Amino acid sequence: MEREPQGIFQFFDTTLAEITPDVLGLWAMVPTPAPQALAFGTTLETTAQPPLWRADLPAEPHIAKHHLADAETRLNTSQKALAGATRRLSVFIEAQRAGVAFGLPSVDGTRARPEEALAVLLREVHEGRPPVSFGVGEWIGGGWEQAAQQLQAVLERLGRLAAYYVWVETRVQQELLGQTAVGWTGDVKTVWRIGLSPEEVMLHQRTLALALQSRDTLLQTLVLATQFAVKLSLLLSMPGGIILALPAAWKFINQVLAEPAQPA
């Protein structure tokens, strides 16, 4: 019986695990530090336990390749969804400017849930006015506060990631094939088990590419959230608008990413 992709692709990280069960619907979060026994000597020194991206593939080569191909497709879908989120936000903002403030736009004739949630969150911010411009968590509803907490954890994580590096490893039925340490600057150190077949080498190289692109997509998501917040703050027209809009933008993007992929 085939395992679910999240049983194969795992992300060991103590911080992000507190706020999300998976990364991009692909990497299952494991809320423990990467196992110490995996570490090999490296010049990529760090003072903290780095996150670990691990693929534990089945022994049958064609099934292992199938899982990797499926994961690559899922990641590609997430990257396309980010582009889609940009278009949908533009439609949303245009609708707000054209009509009643924070009404619900229609996408392709149907009411889209991320837009609906975004409208609700922005209304929370807007109707909470004018008490204060900061420290608003106390009077704004739970949706905003929850999104803000998630975003703050991701931002703090981002700061730490900028200083450290990550591990990527590939296993076949729990047996280690290759392990790579990657720094933010692109420093790469890979240890291979000697005697691997070209197919086995390729399994780790695809896992490495998958992990790095996932990390890249995670960062792009954050960048996009801040760009969206700038745009949404113009709708809010209130002090601290960007900070107030940021959690709503973050939640909007994540809801778009969580939507089922539309057929091409």
Partner 1 sequence: MANGLENAMRTAADKIAHYVQDVAEMKVETLYVRVGADGPTDFCQARPIAQTIVSLDGDSKVILPLREAEAGRFEVDAGLFDVHQRNVTTAIEYRARMLNALLSALQSLRS
Structure tokens at 239: 């002090």
**DSSP annotation string for 48-65:** SPPPEEEEEE-SSHHHHH
* Residue with the two structure tokens 């933008």: 249
Nearer to partner 1 by Cβ, of 112 and 210: the residue is 210
- Of 2, 187, 199, 234, the residue at the interface with partner 1 (CB under 8 A) is 187
Q: Does 247 bind partner 1 (CB under 8 A)?
A: yes
Q: Does 134 bind partner 1 (CB under 8 A)?
A: yes
Query: Whose structure tokens read 């009509």?
Result: 99
61 touches 199 (CB < 8 A): yes
Residue pair 203/57 in contact by the 8 Å Cβ criterion: yes
Q: Is residue 201 within the footprint of partner 1 (CB under 8 A)?
A: yes
Which positions from 139 through 178 interact with partner 1, judged by CB under 8 A? Answer: 145, 148-149, 151-152, 155-156, 158-160, 162-163, 176
Q: Where are the beta strands (DSSP E) in 24-174?
A: 27-30, 52-57, 106-107, 110-111, 165-172
| 236 contacts: CB under 8 Å, gap ≥ 6 | 122, 125, 126, 244, 245
Least Å distance, CB 27 to partner 1, is 17
Please state the closest distance from residue 187 (CB atom) to partner 1, in A: 5
Question: Applying CB under 8 A, which residues contact partner 1?
Answer: 38-41, 43, 134-137, 145, 148-149, 151-152, 155-156, 158-160, 162-163, 176, 179-180, 182, 184-195, 201, 205, 208-209, 212, 216, 219-220, 222-223, 226-227, 230, 240, 242-244, 246-247
